[in-house]
Each structure stands twice: as structure tokens, then as C-alpha cells.
Structure 1
Amino acid sequence: MGRSEGGWYFAAVGDVHGQMHAMVRLLEGWSAKTGKPLAFVLQVGDFEPHRHDADLATMDAPAKYKQLGDFPAYHRRHARFPWPVYFIGGNHEPYGFLDAQAPRGFEVTPGCHYLGRVGQVELRGLRVAGLSGIHREAAFRTARPSLKDSKDVPHKAFAYFNEEDVDRALALQDVDVLLLHDWPSGLIAAEDAGAFEHQRRSVSHDTVGNEYARMLVESLQPRLVLCGHMHRAYRAAIPHSSGQVSDVACLASVRQGPECFGVFHVSTDGITEVTHLR
């Protein structure tokens, strides 16, 4: 599956927010149009794998956005993903479910894998790592609350990564693809700055992203970085003093249509995106 003469293909998807059926339709549509099968799909957080209302209750989000979504159909085996899916956590996940099961990752339903707070997996020779959550400086140097105390603390407290998570991620080795929910800081080119003024989660382009995500990219020097969170598509590159360059693909949300995904070709020449900003 996913094999092609001269290499193979995988897809990356932005925030799904429980719209798994739409994600499947978009990617299957791309494969049908191009005749290229996908080996697997990587997802950059806010996947929202809610099995039932009890999971939904553990997610941090305004009430109007708390919707069960499509995942119950996959959990009950009424639907299946056409390819293996690997996802990290965003800031809108049922962490009461994910952390209680296995904070270091597990298979949430057949063919669908949570990489954990920090995780790494090798897929067809490609080493994929991920850091779940978003940054909040006030929470960075403290331990996350125990799930036993979850009724007494805001759900938001479980949506942040902390210093221990980043230290674990920094210890990873030979990372080819890095999954982040939030963007690395300093990503936006000067000529694009105006497009990020007073937009969603960005008072200005200087406030987009966080320094710890940037530090991970600079330390691990992956060939490809994948991000979500901002609900907009953007492409950039981060050069390193070693001469290595990390290509960065920021992805829109599934509700926004085809800009939510990118497809990448893997060959002996490296990893190359075959989709482009639309």
C-alpha cells in the first residue's frame, strides 16, 4: 500500500476537530484524482477522538464547539480509516481519555495511533516524532495536574506541554518529520507579516508560534516540520548552521477544505511536497 515507482506518498492533515469523514473524503479524492495511494496519514493535533459524551466533557473548549464529531463511528468499527493515522494532541483533545489510557501513546482504534505527549515512531524507514499540546509560560515549569484532580482544575491545564515534555523531545534522535500543534516562532517572512496582523491568535506576526517549538526544530533539524493550530496554510523553511534545512508546512483546518492537507513524496532524493498552497 502506498507504493509508487520511484518512491511513495504520505499525507499530513491540519486540525480535524472531529470531522474524520471529511478528512477521509478529501484524501481519498486526492488519491482518486492522481492515482497515487497513500502509505499513511500524519495529523498535527486537535484531532478530537471523542468516543462518547464523557470524553467530550474532558476537552477544553467553549460549549458551542463541544461536538461529538465522527470518531464514535470509527471507535465502534462502523467506519474505518483507509490508511494508518498517527496524530499528536492539540489544545482541544479529550485528554481525560488520552492521558488515562497511555500518555506515552497507544492505538485508539484499529489503524489510528496517538503518539502521546511526546512520541516517536518509524514508518517505512521514516522517523516521525511529535510533541503534543501548546505553550503557556505560566504552566511550562510545573507538572501537569493529576487526572485524579481533573474535577478541581480547568480542562485547559491539560492542554499545555511543559519543560519535561520538551526535554524528552530534545532527547530524540534522527528525526525526519516533526509534528507540532503550534508553530515555531520566527517563521513568518517579512513580506508576509501584514497577512498575520490582527488575525486568529496573532496580534502581529511576531506573536505567532513559540520559542520552544523553534528550539526543537533547531536542535533536532528534521527534514520536515508539520504544524496546525492557526487554521491557515503557510509554507516556510528554517535553515540550520549545519547546512540542513527544515521545510515547514503549516496546515489549515479540515473545515476549510483542501488547504488542510499536504501530500509528500518520499524517495532517495528526500521528502518533497507534491501539493501546493491553493
Structure 2
Amino acid sequence: MFQNSIATNADHSSTSASNIEDQPAIKRSRISKKLHIAVAGCSHGEMDKIYASLAEIERTSGFNFDLLISCGDYQAVRNYGDLAHMHVSKKYRNLQTFYRYYCGEVKAPILTIFIGGNHEASGFLQELPNGGWVAPRIFYMGHANVVRFAGLRIAGLSGIFNKHHYDTGHWERPPFHDYGGVVSAYHVRSVDVFRLKQLRPRDSSDDKRIDIMVSHDWPAGITEYGDVDELLKKKPFFREDIKKNALGNPATMSLLHDIRPRYWLAAHLHCKFAALISHQVDGDGAVAPEPTRFLSLDKPLPRRHFVQALEFDVDEDAEMCLSYDPVWLAILKATDSFTDATKRTTYMPSQCGSSCGERWDYRPTEEEVKVVEKLFEDDFRIPENFRRTAPPYDPSQMIESELYYRNPQTSEFCAKLGIRDLNEMLCAQSREALGVPYFLSEMSDAVKDEQQSAVTVDIDRKEFDDGCDFVIDRKRRSSPIYLENFVAPKLLDSSSKDEKGPGDKEREGYAASDRVEPAAAPDEQKEEVLTERRKVGSGIFRRRPIGLPEDEEND
């Protein structure tokens, strides 16, 4: 396993219950509770292993985690086709375990949020540029985002730095005709960093700071604030990059000093590293801002520190669900014109251009925030509207490359906020490799099944009457409940509700049109099913099936 430790953010706490009792004169406006957040480094698709590790911590520590934050390389691979969109050598491509959460085989035991790294199923994540659910209880933060949980503000930036693509738009989507698109898809863009910089507080007294900032690669220069000698003992090949200030993202170090988050969490370099970054005082007499605690974690391997527990004090009535951050939504709306789906170079506004009358400070005004509040009717809870766009994993389907899909989560979010839909813009570039979302076929199949069921019942009613002694049951059943007696669908009418014969106990509560199905018969019995039907008063019974027809064996 690994050595577990808990970091406590004492400065973020509200008045504790014990302090209230000691000082009865203080107005009891707030009562706090403990919030436990788990942080994972590079997940590498090993969600089963991570959740099992957290369950062991919960068992030994006596508390439950409320949220899990993954710092990238999550690898949300839905099927074989998604592996073609991941920057990993073919010999290392593996489905891992996320597909089980996507198809509904298992459900995440802890609410999970994650950012993208440099080893992701990029085709899938490009459907959700503004974030969204990739499976029930698993939320992707998008290219950049801010969400709220239990009153905490959590910001995220996906990808790693590359100077060649930093000032371009998000133009990549399947099909990736060359491998360059698979690689550049996970590179950080200046527009996302610019938007995050609009979160900077107006002064040091601003109590609405970001509580947790998450990135995949490290801010360049962060090693100056920690034990670099200890780091070089574990990773001596970092030395040259550290000397050149090239270990990490140069753009996010300025972001760190701008937004001054209480915690900055990262991964990517597969080692644990901690640092404490102090911030300058904003003028004479100003209170010194709280320092930022930086922590990077490893990947899930034995005897590696890949998980950390954080503990916060939050209000007792804090909502334990994910919500949009209204300030972030106002930033997205104000900077909507910067959304681009091309390769052209675009530079963000700067203070140098203010002399020309160009707006460069996009920190939202109160009026801009009020516009967003009106659009969302003050309800910022993120809807649980996950839908499968690609077909789930099927071992018999070796898909060479997955298609690209319109994701309804993105379209609904952008329509509500009134901003450009990058997912739609990418789809509009070309019809090539566009697929019909899987959830539409699921809905279509459900309608067809319902229609087919109605036709089957109608045929049964025409073909069989009360004079028949036997009914041929050709459809294999899979009900887990074994019933000694089961009822013919035609004869379950309202007149039989009042008079119940043996075996009717299991049927109580069924409507007249409901069908009670038997359990599957043993596989070795292949002869046609003949079930006797006899009428005793108004109670109708059928004997258990005695076999299965050969042509229905594999249904």
C-alpha cells in the first residue's frame, strides 16, 4: 500500500462547534463539519486500484471520502477504438478499467473529478471542451474549468505545455490523419490560461480565492520552493531542465501568483514533491495572503505515494454536489469571442493594448455575474445528464478507431449560457468520421422493443383461445426469480385479480398486461417447451418449462 497522510487547511475553516460553546456571546451563524478529499496522481486507467486503496484508507482511518480529484492521465477509454486516440505506444495500449464505469457494469463509489493529461482518450474528451460527465459520478473538467463542491472552489487546467501549439485554437478531433493531432490535442492553449487568470482576486482581502487548483504538469520554477536536492536524488535527469527553467509549464507559474490558490495539485512527473509558495503583499498595510501549498503525486504502483488525503472545514449545510461557478461562467461568456477551432495563431489581450481602448481585464463585473445568475435562475447544480455517445466495450468488436460525436452535454450547456459550442464547431469542419451517438440507438431500440412487444401480445390473443390445452413458449427467459407457476399473458385479465390460486402470491401487484417470466431452464434440455394450461375457476396456471428449443439456445 502506501503511507497515508492528511493535510489540514485550518485557515479555511469556519467557527468550530467547540469554539461556539466556549464563547456563547458569539452568534452561532455557522457550524462546521469535516470534508475529506482524496487526491490521486496519474491514474493511468487504474480506477479499480485507486478506489480499492481509498476503501482501505477509509477502513483504517475511520472517515469516508467525499470527493476524489485525479490530476490527469485518467484514460477514459470506452472501447478499443478509443485506444487509437491515445498517445501511447501500441504495446502499452490497454483498456484498463474505465470501460466498466462507462457501460454501467460498476459505479464509482466516490464522486470523482479529473483533468486531462498527456495520455488520454483525446477523441472522447474533445466532445466535452467545457467539461461533463464521462460516466455516472465521474466528471471531466474540460480544457479549463471551475466548479464548486461543498462551498469549495476547484479549478482545473488540462494538458501539458508545448510552445508550438500554445497560441492556437482547439482544432483537433477524430479522425486523426497524422499522429500530430493526437499529440497536440492535449497541449495547453493560451486562451484557457487567460481565462483562468481572470480569477485573480482584486485585493488580498478577497475571501473568494480558489481553494484547489489542479494541473497535470508542474508550474515551471516550482522546484525553487521545495526540497530540490531530495527531488534530484529520485530524479537526477531533471537537473538540466531545472537549470533552464524548463521543467513544467512557464505559463502556469504566473497563473499561480495571479490567482493564489490555497492548494495546487499536479502529477505528470511520477514522483511526490511538495512546496510552499509565499505571495507578495498588495501595498502598505495590506494583510499578507495565505501561501499556496503545492503537491505533486506519483502513479498507482506499489510503495509509491500516489494518493493524498486533504481535510477541510466546511459549513454544516454545504451542498455535497458539483455546481458551476457563476464567476467562471461569466468569464466564459465575456471571452466567448476567443473560442477558436482553427490552427491560426491568436494572441490574448494584454495591458499593453489598453491604450487602444481594447479590454484586457476580463474579471467579471457584478452586472456580468448577475446576467449569468438570471440565465441559470440561481440554480448552478451541474445536471446529471450523462449519455453514452460511443458504443460501450464489446470484446467481439475490434474497432480500429472510434468516431467523433456531438455530445448533448456540451450543446445543452452552451445553449443555456449562450456561448459558442466548440464541439459543434469541430463537427461542422467535416462530415468525416462523424458518428450517430449511441444513446440515440438505445432510445430507438427501446421504442422498437416496446412496439414489438405490443405486436407479440396481439398475435397471442388472436392465435390462442381458452380452448387450447398447450402454449408453445419459444423465447428463452432470463428472470432471476424462479416461479413454479407462471401465467399466460393472454389470460391475465382484471377478472382474475380477486380469485387467486396457488402460486399467485408472487404475482400480486402486476397489472393485467404484465407478463410473469420463468427462470431459464437447464442448458442440457433442448427439446421444445410445452406447458400445460388449465382453467380452475378464474385462476390460471402453467407448469414450469421442461426444456428449451434449439434455435433459441443463444438468445
Give me the TM-score of the superposition, normalised by structure 2.
0.45
Give the C-alpha shift of residue 130 in structure 1. 0.3
- Residue 307 (structure 2) aligned to one of 255, 258, 261: 261
Q: State whether residues 172 and 185 of structure 2, in contact with CA within 8 Å, keep that contact through their aligned partners in structure 1.
A: no
Q: State whether residues 161 and 188 of structure 2, in contact with CA within 8 Å, keep that contact through their aligned partners in structure 1.
A: yes
User: Structure 1 residues 256, 91: CA separation in 2 closer, same or farther (over 3 Å shift)?
Assistant: farther
Q: State whether residues 19 and 69 of structure 1, in contact with CA within 8 Å, keep that contact through their aligned partners in structure 2.
A: yes
- Residue 217 (structure 2) aligned to one of 179, 182, 193: 182
Q: Any idea what SS the aligned residue of 2:292 has? A: strand
Q: State whether residues 232 and 239 of structure 2, in contact with CA within 8 Å, keep that contact through their aligned partners in structure 1.
A: no
Q: State whether residues 16 and 255 of structure 1, in contact with CA within 8 Å, keep that contact through their aligned partners in structure 2.
A: no
Equivalent-residue separation in structure 2 for 1:24 and 1:196 (angstroms): 27
User: Structure 1 residues 162, 16: CA separation in 2 closer, same or farther (over 3 Å shift)?
Assistant: same
Give the C-alpha shift of residue 253 in structure 1. 0.5
**Residue of structure 1 in register with 2:40 after alignment:** 13
Confirm or deny that 1:55 pairs with 2:82. yes
Q: Which amino acid in the other structure matches residue 195 of structure 1?
A: K
Give the C-alpha shift of residue 193 in structure 1. 5.5
Confirm or deny that 1:246 pairs with 2:292. yes
**Residue of structure 2 in register with 1:217 after alignment:** 256
Q: State whether residues 9 and 38 of structure 1, in contact with CA within 8 Å, keep that contact through their aligned partners in structure 2.
A: yes
User: Structure 1 residues 146, 56: CA separation in 2 closer, same or farther (over 3 Å shift)?
Assistant: same
- Residue 139 (structure 1) aligned to one of 165, 169, 174: 165
Residues 35-46 of structure 1: pairs in structure 2 closer than 5 A: 35-46=62-73
Confirm or deny that 1:104 pairs with 2:141. no
Give the C-alpha shift of residue 153 in structure 1. 5.0
Confirm or deny that 1:192 pairs with 2:218. no
- Residue 235 (structure 1) aligned to one of 266, 274, 280: 274
**1:222-250, Cα deviation, whole Å (9 max, x unpaired):** 00000000010111111111332000110
Confirm or deny that 1:156 pairs with 2:202. no
Equivalent-residue separation in structure 2 for 1:131 and 1:112 (angstroms): 17
Q: Any idea what SS the aligned residue of 1:247 has? A: strand
Q: State whether residues 172 and 184 of structure 2, in contact with CA within 8 Å, keep that contact through their aligned partners in structure 1.
A: no
User: Structure 1 residues 55, 172: CA separation in 2 closer, same or farther (over 3 Å shift)?
Assistant: farther
Q: Any idea what SS the aligned residue of 1:254 has? A: coil
Q: Any idea what SS the aligned residue of 1:169 has? A: helix
Q: What is the total number of aligned residue pairs between the two structures?
A: 263
**Residue of structure 2 in register with 1:275 after alignment:** none
Moved more, 85-94 or 168-177: 168-177
Q: Any idea what SS the aligned residue of 1:58 has? A: coil
Give the C-alpha shift of residue 252 in structure 1. 0.4
Give the C-alpha shift of residue 72 in structure 1. 1.0
Q: State whether residues 122 and 185 of structure 2, in contact with CA within 8 Å, keep that contact through their aligned partners in structure 1.
A: yes
Indicate the RMSD between aligned Cα atoms, in angstroms.
Answer: 2.0
Confirm or deny that 1:72 pairs with 2:111. no
Equivalent-residue separation in structure 2 for 1:111 and 1:26 (angstroms): 18
Give the C-alpha shift of residue 105 in structure 1. 0.4
User: Structure 1 residues 29, 118: CA separation in 2 closer, same or farther (over 3 Å shift)?
Assistant: same
Give the C-alpha shift of residue 61 in structure 1. 1.6
Moved more, 49-58 or 167-176: 167-176
**1:71-118, Cα deviation, whole Å (9 max, x unpaired):** 111111111211100000001111111112x21100111100001000
Q: Any idea what SS the aligned residue of 1:249 has? A: strand
Give the C-alpha shift of residue 170 in structure 1. 1.3
Q: Which has the larger radius of gyration?
A: 2
Q: State whether residues 7 and 266 of structure 1, in contact with CA within 8 Å, keep that contact through their aligned partners in structure 2.
A: yes
Equivalent-residue separation in structure 2 for 1:46 and 1:132 (angstroms): 10
User: Structure 1 residues 205, 152: CA separation in 2 closer, same or farther (over 3 Å shift)?
Assistant: closer
Greater strand fraction, Structure 1 or Structure 2:
1
Q: State whether residues 42 and 85 of structure 1, in contact with CA within 8 Å, keep that contact through their aligned partners in structure 2.
A: yes
Give me the TM-score of the superposition, normalised by structure 1.
0.88
Gaps of at least 5 residues in structure 2 are: 1-31, 201-208, 282-287, 315-555
Q: State whether residues 226 and 248 of structure 1, in contact with CA within 8 Å, keep that contact through their aligned partners in structure 2.
A: yes
- Residue 31 (structure 1) aligned to one of 36, 45, 58: 58
User: Structure 1 residues 128, 262: CA separation in 2 closer, same or farther (over 3 Å shift)?
Assistant: same
Q: Which amino acid in the other structure matches residue 114 of structure 2?
A: F
Moved more, 38-47 or 166-175: 166-175
Equivalent-residue separation in structure 1 for 2:302 and 2:252 (angstroms): 25
User: Structure 1 residues 254, 197: CA separation in 2 closer, same or farther (over 3 Å shift)?
Assistant: closer
The percent of aligned pairs where both chains have the same amino acid is 27
User: Structure 1 residues 123, 202: CA separation in 2 closer, same or farther (over 3 Å shift)?
Assistant: farther
